[in-house]
Amino acid sequence: MSKNYTAENIQVLEGLDAVRMRPGMYIGTTGIKGLHHILWELVDNAMDEVANGFGNKINVIIYEDGSASVEDNGRGVPVDIHPTMKISGVEVVYTQLHAGGKFDNSNYTHSGGLHGVGASVTNALSRWMTVNVFKNGTTYQAEFESPEVKGAVKSGLVKTHLFDTKKKTKKTGTFVRFMPDDRVFETIKFNSELITRRLKELAFLNKGAKIVFEDRRVAVGNGHQTVEFCYEGGLKDFVIYLNELKKPVFDNPIFFSGTKDNIAMEVAIQYNDSYTESMFSYVNNIPTPEGGTHETGFKVGLTRVLNDFARKMGILKDKDANLQGDDFREGITAVISVKMQNVQFEGQTKTKLGNTEAKQACEAITLAELPAFLEKNKTVTEIILKKAQLAAKVREATRKQKELTRAKNSIDSFNTVGKLKSCSGKKAELNELFIVEGDSAGGTCTQARNRSFQAILPLRGKPLNAEKKRLDKVLENEEIKTLISALGAGLGEEFNPEDLKYGKVVILSDADQDGYHIRCILLTFFFRYMKELITEGHVYIGMPPLYKISKKNDVRYVYSDEELDKVKEEMGRNCEIQRYKGLGEMNAEQLWSTTLDPQKRKMIKVSIEDVAEAEKMVTVLMGDAVDQRKAYIVEHSNFNKKDAFIDNIK
């Protein structure tokens, strides 16, 4: 290493070189999530054309060679020469960072691609990209490719040729096909299930838009696997879809829309007979699972409108206090879609809207538009108000129960003596809580752990299924009360992640039917009453090994049947195989080495990539939809595999 450090040692990364050198800065990760991110950038560009009224169809194709394409029938990327850069608009869009037509709001009233790096970043992280623009009766074509030398970044992306103006066409729009760079990504295999879910969601959010997805890697008859989405009912169809495994208390969803101060909002609402609130919000087609000012404005407006109607219809008397927002939202399924300019996101994952003007606009639109529906549909209004009135009675009973519990033994400091094996670490963000099933596993884990930062909480019975019970019944369950006390952050509206005693909350259950059930019950409880525990990245699933394979002094632990076959082939004949049925079958040393040691263990970080689909999955697994649950378990019975809602990490 040179001791001299002068100006000539400073490397200047030009164009897209910076993206190839530090892709994580632009797409977050080079894993499966990052791979799909570069596809979403192109899909968002196409959807921006459709959402702004310049097209009505998007085609997404995954090809046999692993490349992908996105095509829209919008206006087409500009092909004329840029006045200052002296290159075509196509070259500007696909080779220059922070370049695009979405900054001054003159070409797009709203946009999902807000950062101006989307298309160029996709180009930067592809081996090659082809762009066809259909405009002015002409087909324009540009081709780009990345350097062949592995890791090379100096030359960025090289344009091989630009524009073939000989092809005449009546089409308009943009077609982009790209091959993800296998030198950048851990995998370049697109997940069709993940793509299908996102495209379906976009179709719901953009009424009448036709979105076609074709996976040419999968043959079906004489063609390929193709799905098409188009919902003329838009958000109304969305809430019906979300409630199809529940029992709606009225058929036709409530729908209203309006615009205030250049902020447009659409809302669809349908109540069901459950006890939980299911609210999904979007800004310019971007999911906001952490909510934000638009949700707050809607909630305030909803509460005010419904309280006014409760008094007008005589359900609340003069002497009665107003009902609370939670009362009106019990059993609600609502989708809120906001379109606006100059969006400001906040929160750890940038999925929470921070614009203060959105609260005022969404509250005003709700106050102005919702009463018209309620006036015309008095039967629906009465159903909502009576359901809220019952919820208020249960809330009051729950409050009294909490007070009684606190008088004896507070829920916030519930007696965990003999249950929780706490750790000595004082920094909560470094501490880990392992939730294990049974005293046997709890004892082994307690012996195996590093007491300085690892705590053990054995469950001595199954927690209550929070999907089927009201909160007052959930709070009667001893295991749930112990868990709430151990975490120390409250629950529901009072849940505060800053009070959390552990940076990691790890569900460590056996790889059998009971273990899977406990895992589902705990995840359901967290999803319903401590959602931020998941969205802020605190929940993990521990991965103890399924097998121990030994041959003389060679001992290996494997975590799946696929890995078992590979290791058996490597070790050859006469190797001994031990199948672990539970944590209790390992001694403390083995458990530390395979499952608890941060340097060696494997864990799954639970995340919510698609809140609407996560909501539906919770209903399938933990609700009353028996047939759908059986079908899902048959298809996804290996719970040691990563599924649609979790990211694999070590």
Residues identified as active-site: 437, 510, 512, 514
d(CA 390, CA 394): 6
What pairs with residue 490 in β-bridges?
none
Query: Strand 603-606 to strand 432-437: parallel, antiparallel, or no bridges (unpaired)?
Result: unpaired
d(CA 444, CA 582): 11
Residue that the structure tokens 């369950």 belong to: 477
Residue that the structure tokens 């993940």 belong to: 194
Token pair recorded at residue 313: 């219809």
Q: Which is nearest to 419 in space by CA: 513, 469, 463, 485?
A: 485
Q: Which is nearest to 272 in space by CA: 629, 623, 645, 630?
A: 623
The number of helix segments (H) and strand segments (E) in the chain equals 20, 24
Please give the C-alpha separations between residue 156 and each of 16, 18, 109, 127, 269, in angstroms, as whole numbers: 6, 9, 33, 11, 49
203 φ, ψ to 5°?
A: -65, -40
Order of all β-strands in the sheet with 210-220: 158-162, 138-145, 126-135, 173-180, 68-72, 57-62, 210-220, 223-229
Environment class of 588 (CB within 10 Å of its CB; exposed 0-12, middle 13-18, buried 19+): middle
Number of Cα atoms under 13 Å in the Cβ half of residue 306: 24
d(CA 102, CA 372): 35
Q: Which long-range contacts (CB under 8 A, 24 or more apart) does 324-327 make?
A: 324/392, 324/395, 325/299, 325/300, 326/277, 326/391, 326/395, 326/493, 327/388, 327/389, 327/391, 327/392, 327/395
What pairs with residue 168 in β-bridges?
138
d(CA 579, CA 546): 6
Q: Which is nearest to 512 in space by CA: 622, 598, 638?
A: 638
d(CA 641, CA 627): 22
d(CA 132, CA 270): 43
Order of all β-strands in the sheet with 603-606: 454-459, 432-437, 504-508, 539-542, 603-606, 646-649
Cβ atoms 603, 647 nearer than 8 A:
no
What pairs with residue 576 in β-bridges?
550
Cβ atoms 94, 123 nearer than 8 A:
yes
SS3 167: coil
Environment class of 336 (CB within 10 Å of its CB; exposed 0-12, middle 13-18, buried 19+): buried
Rg, C-alpha atoms of the chain: 27
CA 174 to chain CA mean position, Å: 28
Token pair recorded at residue 430: 């470094």
Token pair recorded at residue 634: 């048959």
What pairs with residue 316 in β-bridges?
none
Q: Which is nearest to 236 in space by CA: 333, 328, 150?
A: 333
d(CA 153, CA 169): 37
d(CA 356, CA 317): 34
Residues 6+ apart with CB under 8 A from 104: none
Residue that the structure tokens 């447009």 belong to: 264
